[in-house]
Every structure is written in structure tokens, then in C-alpha cells.
């Protein structure tokens, strides 16, 4: 028995039926896409305008109050990150080391992936030194060197430890750090300073140099006894009388 032929299909009719059935969802989806594109374009335009305005305001700022104004007006603009660093520097120049560290900590917390995070932490350690908190500064330098070994600040963080350790008379620890700099960062700008510091540092417990014995004159050059004075000249004899 021959197979029945397949039913004929009207493609145009099926397309029209599909459109009639789903035209409202399709139109809604297209409208949503158009609205999303418009919103994105408007947001990007708005963000670029604000970023430009923030950069212009930052360029004209010169005081701590003006840097704070940039942060307050444009907290999400890229210029705000630079404003935090400049504000901390202004506070440090005014001797407000604790305030500067608060500003830097805010920067580190808000921009943990920023290229200058290690620089901000170095500044915080330097401020701690200025406050006389050398133990805390030493700990922070150690953290920087450990957390950012490939940063340009790593050898400087190590060298900063050397100065503190020298002041604490921890000579052996200071020598080991100098040797680390010369081993791991020998092409760094700070390698020369590490070499100089290493030459100045003497190992603890090294034997004191033996006293130089007093020089003695060789036997032939010993002082001879004083020679007897020459005899006093005598008057010539008187001529005999005739």
C-alpha cells in the first residue's frame, strides 16, 4: 500500500499565525531592549560628564578643604581616588599624621585594587614613624613587603625596616634584610643604598680588633748615653820673662 503524501505546509500562513500569537511578547522584548540601550547611553553620558567635572575641580584644588569638596561632590568619580591621596598628603604636610592615616585607610578600603594601594600603605607607615609608633610602622613595612613582593614599593619597604632595626640595635636582622634586597631586588634603585647600609652594619658579637702594640725603637736606635761635655778652653801660657 503506497504511503500517504505529507500534508502541504503554507509557510506564510504559519508565520502569520506565529506573529499573531506572539506579537505582544516580541514587541515588549524589543521595547525593553531599546529602553535599555537608551538608559545605558544616557548613564554613560552622565558619568562622563561628571568625571570630566570632577577632574576639572580636582585640577583647580590646592588645599585640604578643596580636596574634601571633590570627594563630597563626586564620590564615585575616578578623580575621587586621587583626591584622597592628595588630601592625605596635605594633612601630612600640616602635621596631622593621624588624620592622614584615616584618609589613607579610607582610600585603601574603598579602592582595594587601585595601583597606588601599596603607596598609600607606605605613607601610612611613614606617618606612624612620625607619630613615634615605630613598632607599628615596622609591622606595616613587613606586611607591605610580604603582600606586594612585585611592587616597586617592596624593596623600599624592606629598606625602611633596616633604619628602624638599626635604631633598635637589631643589627643582625638589619643585615639579613639588606642581603634580601641585594638578592631579590638587585636591579632596584634601592639596591645601592642596601649595599651601603650593609657595609656600615657589623655583625653582632664580632671580635673586637686587637689593640695595636706600642711601637718600640729598634735596639740600634735606642737612645745612647749623653756624651761628656767638651773641656773648657784654657788660657794660653804667659810668656817667660827674659
Q: What is the tens place of the pLDDT at every residue in 109-137?
A: 999 999 999 999 999 999 999 999 999 99
Q: How confident is the model at residue 24 (pLDDT cuts 50, 70, 90)?
A: confident
Confidence band (pLDDT; 50, 70, 90) for 202?
confident
**DSSP designation for 181:** H
Q: Please, what is the end-to-end C-alpha distance for the chain in angstroms?
A: 202
Whether the pLDDT of residue 47 is over 50: the answer is yes
pLDDT at position 116 is: 95
**What gap in Å lies between CA 236 and CA 242, rounded to an integer?**
18
pTM of the model: 0.68
pLDDT band for 35, please (50, 70, 90 cuts).
low
Highest mean pLDDT among 128-142, 200-214, 216-230: 128-142
- How high is the pLDDT of residue 51? 73
* pLDDT score of 55: 84
Q: Are 139 and 159 in contact (CB under 8 A)?
A: no
Inter-CA distances, 61 with 54, 70, 102, 142, 214, Å? 11, 8, 20, 34, 70
- Rg value, the chain, Cα: 43
Phi and psi of 172, rounded to 5°? -65, -40
Q: What is the pLDDT of residue 5?
A: 54
pLDDT attached to residue 11: 67
Residue 64 has what pLDDT? 93
Q: In whole angstroms, what is the distance from residue 153 CA to residue 147 CA?
A: 11
Amino acid at each position: 500500500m503506497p504511503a500517504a503524501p505529507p500534508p502541504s505546509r503554507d509557510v506564510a500562513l504559519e508565520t502569520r499565525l506565529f506573529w499573531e500569537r506572539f506579537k505582544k511578547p516580541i514587541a515588549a522584548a524589543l521595547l525593553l531592549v531599546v529602553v535599555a540601550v537608551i538608559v545605558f547611553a544616557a548613564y554613560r553620558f552622565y558619568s562622563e560628564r561628571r568625571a570630566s567635572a570632577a577632574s576639572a575641580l580636582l585640577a583647580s584644588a590646592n588645599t585640604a578643604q578643596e580636596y574634601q569638596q571633590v570627594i563630597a561632590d563626586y564620590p564615585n568619580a575616578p578623580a575621587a581616588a586621587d583626591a584622597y591621596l592628595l588630601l592625605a598628603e596635605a594633612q601630612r604636610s600640616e602635621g596631622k599624621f593621624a588624620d592622614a592615616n584615616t584618609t589613607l585607610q579610607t582610600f585603601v578600603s574603598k579602592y582595594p585594587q587601585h595601583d597606588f594601594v601599596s603607596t598609600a600603605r607606605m605613607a601610612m607607615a611613614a606617618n606612624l614613624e612620625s607619630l613615634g609608633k615605630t613598632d607599628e610602622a615596622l609591622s606595616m613595612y613587613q606586611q607591605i613587603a610580604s603582600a606586594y613582593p612585585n611592587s616597586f614599593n617592596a624593596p623600599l619597604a624592606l629598606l625602611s625596616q633596616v633604619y628602624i632595626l638599626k635604631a633598635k640595635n637589631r643589627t643582625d636582622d638589619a643585615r639579613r634584610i639588606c642581603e634580601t634586597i641585594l638578592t631579590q631586588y638587585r636591579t632596584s634603585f634601592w639596591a645601592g643604598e642596601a649595599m651601603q647600609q650593609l657595609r656600615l652594619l657589623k655583625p653582632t658579637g664580632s671580635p673586637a680588633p686587637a689593640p695595636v702594640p706600642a711601637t718600640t725603637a729598634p735596639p740600634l736606635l735606642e737612645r745612647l748615653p749623653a756624651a761628656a761635655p767638651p773641656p773648657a778652653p784654657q788660657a794660653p801660657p804667659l810668656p817667660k820673662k827674659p
